[in-house]
Structures are given as structure tokens and as C-alpha cells.
Structure 1
Amino acid sequence: MLPPYWVRRLVLLPLMLLISVAAVLTAPATLLLAALVSLLVPRQHGRVLRITVLVIGYLAAEGVALVVLGYLWLACGFGRRVREPKHERQHYVCVRAFLRWIFWLVNHVLHVQVRLEGPELEAYRDKPLIVFCRHAGPGDSFLLVHALMDWYDREPRIVLKDTMQWDPAIDIVLNRLPTRFIRSGAPGKATVDPEKGPDAEQQIGELARRLDGNDALVLFPEGGNFTARRRARAIAKLRRRGLTAEAAKAEAMRHVLPPRPGGVLAVLDNAPEADVVWVAHTGTDHLLTVADVWDALPTEVDVKMRWWQVPAGSVPEGREPRIAWLYEWWQQIDEWITHNRVEEDQREAA
């Protein structure tokens, strides 16, 4: 459960600042201890040292981000002019710098490399975009936003779970930018669920309006990270609702959850001028838990992302055709993942 606003500002924010400062000041001793543990404890393979470097690096970036966000709050008249384009752009620059540091750290400590396939930058230039991406593996939402900002020079509008606001820097900066935090349901349920009524869909639709040429609205139609258990529950739920055709399609897809159409339809209805971009990725989708990540270290991770662009004029009209179209694309994404995971397994076996 997310704490109220005043707790997040008066308790979590200063607590995170204190933790960040402490992490930086004690970094030499902490890193020395982690290095000794990695050397003396059998079969650690440097795991403790790598994780320690990541944690300290993230906490340092969090502390710097909070200080910068405090300065930006003062610069925009104690928050009064935060929605003006100039100040909004400054906040996007802050997010871009934060993500650049995080991905530099991940690349060098965990040896994660990202390869992109799809249209070049010119294909997207000066066009509003709607980005629908699969959701699987640790940090894929950060990776997608980083790609949009750093490689495609976009200002993303993001739909995400309200629990992300536990992180003070994310909480502050995204509440100053065009974002919709959707209240989370019980574990395993999708963020956007048509059964919860029109509220979530209405919020998402409002976020999609008036996209300009460097905007990109980001939505994860599955509503949560893929796991086999969530897939089984989602298929069973479709059957209980009498959606037998959708359940059959979902059963044929092995690596994705059945997409939730409510949010997708709300976005398409409110941004008819935007091109649609579908994004698939693979490489970290087998890392579902902290234990999986720990067991995988140290390793080189090759993350592959595939982008498909559909012009606005090619998006079908009407609710049912659009739902069918969504499932067709989700099937294509699943097939792409299957093909690339077979190639990965073959390379590892060789």
C-alpha cells in the first residue's frame, strides 16, 4: 500500500537523502569489505562486489537527483510554473541524465549490452508516438524510457503503477511531468483492468491527448511483468468472463501475458494522429526474481529490442477490430521472442 503524500515528502524523502549520503561517505569501506567477501567466500564469483557497486551507484544517483529536483522546484517559483514548457524540459533533462548514469553503471558492472532493431530515427522524427511494449524482466520499463529519451530524443508520457512512488526521485519527477499513476490491484492483477470501471481508462485517455511531434505515450498492455503463474491466472480469468476466443489466443502465446485492451483502446481513441510503435525485447525475461538475478551473476547479458512502426492511418477503426489487431500484434511479438530465445539457447549450447 502506498503511503500518503505527506509521508512520502516528510519521511521517505529525507530518509532517502540520509541513506544516499551515508552510502557515499561509507563507500570506500563498504566496497573493501565486499571485495574481501568476494575473494574469501567460495563460489561467489564477485557477486557481492558487483551488487554493492550497483547499490551504491544507484543511491548516489538518487541523492544527486533529489538535490537537483529541489533546485528545479525553487527555479520554477516553488513549483508554481512546473508545467511550463521550459521547466518541463529541464525535468526531462534530469530524467535523461539519471537514466544514462544507471545504464552506464549496469553496462559496466553487469556487462549488459542492448541491441536495437527497427526503423531508424528519421522514421520517427516530428511524429507523435504511442508505444506499446511487453513487460518482462527487471528494469525493462527503465530501458524503454531510456531508449526513447536518449536514442530517439522523445519526451515520454508514462502509465505506470502507483507503487513506483515509493522511490522519492521517481515520485517527485514524474508527478511534475505528464504521467498517470494507476492504483495497483492485488498481486498479479493488471494495472489497467476494465472491470474496475472507466476511471483508469479515462486517466490514460486524458494523458494521450494533444501529443506533439516529440512526445511518446508509453503503455504496457499486459499490466504487469510476465510470469508463468500470472499467465495461467490471466487465461483463467478470460475464460470466467466468457472470452473464450481471447483465452484460446492467449494459450497459443507462450512468452507474454494476454493484453488488456481497455487502456490500449483509450489511447487509440484519444490520439488518432499518432503512429503506433510495438516493442518486443528478450534477454532478461528469464530473470524473474532476485534469486534469478543473483544466480545469473556474473554473466554477460545481451538484450535485444525490436521496434515496429505502424502509421496512424493504418490503425483499424472500431472496438472489436482494434482488439483483434492488438492480439495479432501480441502474437507477432510472442513469435519474435520465441525465435530469438531459440537462437540464444543455441548460442549457449555451442
Structure 2
Amino acid sequence: MLPPYWVRRLFLVPLMLVISLFAVVTSPATLLIAAIAGFAGPGRKGRLFRITALVIGYLAAEGVALFVLAYLWVAAGFGRRVREPKHERRHYVCVRTFLRWIFWLVNHVLHVQVRVEGPIPEAYRDKPLIVFSRHAGPGDSFLLVHALMNWYDREPRIVLKDTLQWDPAIDIVLNRLPTRFIRSGAPGKATIDPAAGPDAETQIGELARRLDHDDALVLFPEGGNFTQRRRARAIARLRRRGLMAEAAKAEAMRYVLPPRPGGVLAVLENAPEADVVWVAHTGTDHLLTVADVWDALPVHIDLKMRWWQVPAGSVPQDREQRIAWLYEWWRQIDGWVTENRVAEGQREVV
């Protein structure tokens, strides 16, 4: 359960600053010990050193981000003007820099390479976007937002799970930017955080309104990371609700969860002027837990992304047509993942 706002600010932020400072100060000794233990011990060589370097690098970035966010809060009149465009842009610069550092760190420490297929960045220029993405593997939301900000020069508005607010820097910056946090709960019962309003679809729709030329509304229609167990539960839930046609379509898709139309329909209704971008990716599908990541290291991961762009004028207008259109695109995304998915055993150990 997520702690209240005041607990997160009074306890989690100072705790993270202490942890970050400790990690940076002790990093030479920690990395030396990790290198010796990793290369002298059993198992794959260098695994412990790499994961230690990644953790220290992230904690260092977290600490710097918290100090920058404190400065931005003071510069915005102690938070009074934080929603003004000038100060909002400064926060986007902070997020862009943080994500650029994390992307560089992951690339060089874990040897993750990303290949992108689809329209070039110029195809998206000067038009609002709605981005619907598959959700599978660790960090795919970070990668997507990094791509939108640093490759496509976008200011994203994001719908995310509220559990990400356990991270103090993410909690602070995204609560100052256009974001909606979905409260985790029983399948099919996720809601918007009560502080933002009681109706999830209404709040998501409001987030999509008045997108300008460099905005991108980001939504993960599956509502969670893909696993085969979640897929089976989602199909069973569709059957219990009497949605037999949707359940049959979901069963035909192997590597995606059935999409939840509510949020998608709310976004399309409130941003009719925006082009729709569909995003598929594969390469980290088998990395579902921390243990999976540990067992896989060190490897070279070739992560592939595919983007499709649909002009606003080509989006269906009728509700039922939009639901069918969503499932058809999800079927296409599943087909692309099936074709491009690399089995775990074929990954190159480095």
C-alpha cells in the first residue's frame, strides 16, 4: 500500500537522500568488493559488478534529481507557480536529463541496445500524439518516455500505476507535471488516486484534453506487465463478464494482454485532433522479476521497438468500431512480437 503524501515527503525523501549519499561516498570500495567477489566467486563473471554499478548509478542520479527538484520548487515561488509553462518546461528538462543518464547507464553496464522501426521523428513534428504501448519487461515505460522526450522532443502526459510513487524523485516530478496515477487493486478495479478524483476514465480523458503540438499522451492499454498468468486471468475475466467475442480474440493473441477499452476510449474522445501512435517492443519479455534479471546477467540484449502512426482523420468515430479497431491493432502488435521475439536461450552471453 502506498504511504500518504506527507509520509512520502517527510520520510522517504530524506531516507533516499541518505541512501544516495552513502552509495556515492562508498562507491569505490563497493565496486572494488563487487568486482573481486564477482570474478572470484562461482557463476557468470562480472555479474555482481555490473548490477552494483547500475544500482549506484541510479541512486546517484536519484540524489541529484532530488536536489534539482528542490531548487525548482524554490524557483517556482516555493511551489506556487510550479504549474506555469516556464516552470513546467524546466521540470521536463530535469526528467529528460535523468532519463538520458539512465539510458546511457543501462546501455553501457548491461549492454542493452535498442533498434527502432517505423516513421522517422520528423513524421511526428508539430502535431499532438496519443501513444498506446505494449507493456512487458522491466523498464519499458522508462524507455518509451525516454524515446518520446529525447528522440522525438515530446512533453509526455502519462498514465501510470501509483506504486511508482515509492520512488521519491518520480513521485515529486510527476506530481508537478500532467500525470494520472492509477491506484493498484483487484484486476478490473483499478481507479485513479482519490486525490485526483474518483472516476478513472474521466480523469484520463481530462488529461488528454488540450494537447498542443509537442505533447504526447501515453497510455498502456493492458493495464499491467504481460505474463502468461495475467493473460489467463484476463481472458477468464472477459468470459465472466460475458464478453465472449473479446475473450476469443484475446485467446488468439499469444504475447499481449487483452486491452482495456475504457481508458483508450476516453483518450480518443477527448483528443480528436491527435494522431495515434502504436508501439510494440520485445527483447526483455523473459525478464519479469529481479531474479530473472540476475539469472540473465551478463547478456547482450537486443531490444526492438516498432512504431506505427495513424492520422487523426483515420481514427474510427463510433464506440464499437473503436473497440474493434483497438483489438485489431493489438492483434497486429501481437503478430509483430511473435515474429520478432527472441527466445531466451538464443541471447548472447558477454
By the TM > 0.5 criterion, same fold?
yes
1:163-182 per-position Cα deviation (integer Å, ceiling 9, x unaligned): 11000000000000000011
- Which SS does the other structure have where 1:329 is aligned? helix
Distance 2:204 2:178 in 1: 11
In 2, distance between residues paired with 1:343 and 1:298? 16
Instruction: Give me the whole-angstrom Cα distance separating, in 2, the residues matched to 1:294 and 1:156.
Output: 31
Against the structure 1 CA distance between its residues 278 and 80, is the aligned structure 2 distance closer, same or farther, given a 3 Å change threshold? same
Counterpart mapping for 1:93-112 below 5 A: 93-112=93-112
Aligned partner of residue 176 in structure 1, secondary structure:
coil
Instruction: Determine the C-alpha separation between the residues in 2 that align with 1:273 and 1:198.
Output: 27
- The whole-number CA distance in structure 2 between the counterparts of 1:215 and 1:223 is 22
Identity %: 83
Structure 1 residues 343 and 181, CA gap change in structure 2 (3 angstroms): closer
Instruction: State the Cα distance separating 1:43 from its structure 2 match.
Output: 1.5
Residue 254 (structure 1) aligned with residue 254 (structure 2): yes
CA deviation profile, 1:208-233 (whole Å, cap 9, x unmatched): 00000000000000000000000000
Equivalent AA in structure 2 for residue 297 of structure 1? L
Q: CA deviation at 1:117?
A: 0.6
Secondary structure at the aligned position of 2:223 is classed as: coil
What is the alpha-carbon distance in structure 2 between the residues aligned to residue 253 and residue 169 of structure 1? 36
Q: Which residue of 1 aligns with 2:220?
A: 220
Q: What is the alpha-carbon distance in structure 1 between the residues aligned to residue 123 and residue 265 of structure 2? A: 24
> Unpaired runs of 5+ in structure 1?
none
Counterpart-to-counterpart distance in 2, 1:256 and 1:63 = 36
Give the corresponding residue for 1:281. Answer: 281
2 CA distance for matches of 1:216 and 1:268? 13
Equivalent residue, structure 2, for 1:121: 121
Per the normalisation by structure 1, the TM-score is 0.95
Number of residue pairs the alignment of both structures matches: 344
| Cross-structure match for 1:44 | 44
Moved over 4 A (4+): 188-193, 342-348
SS of structure 2 residue aligned to 1:37: helix
Mapped contact 1:35–1:48 kept (Cα < 8 A): yes
CA distance in 2, matches of 1:38, 1:51: 10
C-alpha RMSD over aligned residues: 1.7
* Matching residue of 2:158: 158
Give yes or no for contact 1:283–1:304 (8 Å, CA) kept in 2.
yes
Q: Aligned partners of 1:203, 1:62: CA distance in 2, in Å?
A: 29
1:230 matches 2:219 = no
CA displacement at 1:345 relative to structure 2: 7.4
More divergent stretch after superposition (37-46 vs 311-320): 37-46
In 2, Cα distance between equivalents of 1:343 and 1:172: 38
Partner letter of residue 311 of structure 1? P
The aligned residue for residue 340 of structure 1 is 340
What's the CA shift for 1:44?
A: 3.3
